[in-house]
Amino acid sequence: QVQLVESGGGLVQAGGSLRLSCAASGRTFSRSVMGWFRQAPGKEREFVGALSCSGIIRNYADSVKGRFNISRDNAKNTVYLQMNSLKPEDTGVYYCAAQKPDVSWTTGRYDYWGQGTQVTVSS
């Protein structure tokens, strides 16, 4: 069982930056595709971005391309979400998620989820 714990959320003005972190338990982190999702009030959870096991392949939602960057440190069992040029519409609870180890990137299925961290962007 993998446990994920996010941190780094907070309140920031539009145009500012935040970096979220997600620490994972267990020994299989380096073999799992990692993703970030978010949920705004009254809306469904949506995909933000994902990162391959090696950290080479990235995929982002169109709404965050060019502003957000996902990275990982497999030695620290941690994945990061660097968010720049934040907009009020980026407000929401941000969730870290992990696929099972050795599952193909293409499945898009995430089996492990963190508890979420709140990001609020003021205008």
At 96 the pLDDT is: 98
At 70 the pLDDT is: 97
At 111 the pLDDT is: 95
**Does residue 112 carry a pLDDT above 90?**
yes
Mean pLDDT of the chain: 96
At 1 the pLDDT is: 83
Question: How many residues would you count in the chain?
Answer: 123
- Please give the structure tokens belonging to residue 28: 């299989």
At 106 the pLDDT is: 80
| Tens-digit pLDDT profile for residues 18-39 | 999 999 999 999 999 999 999 9
**Does residue 110 carry a pLDDT above 90?**
yes
At 104 the pLDDT is: 83
**Does residue 108 carry a pLDDT above 90?**
no
At 85 the pLDDT is: 98
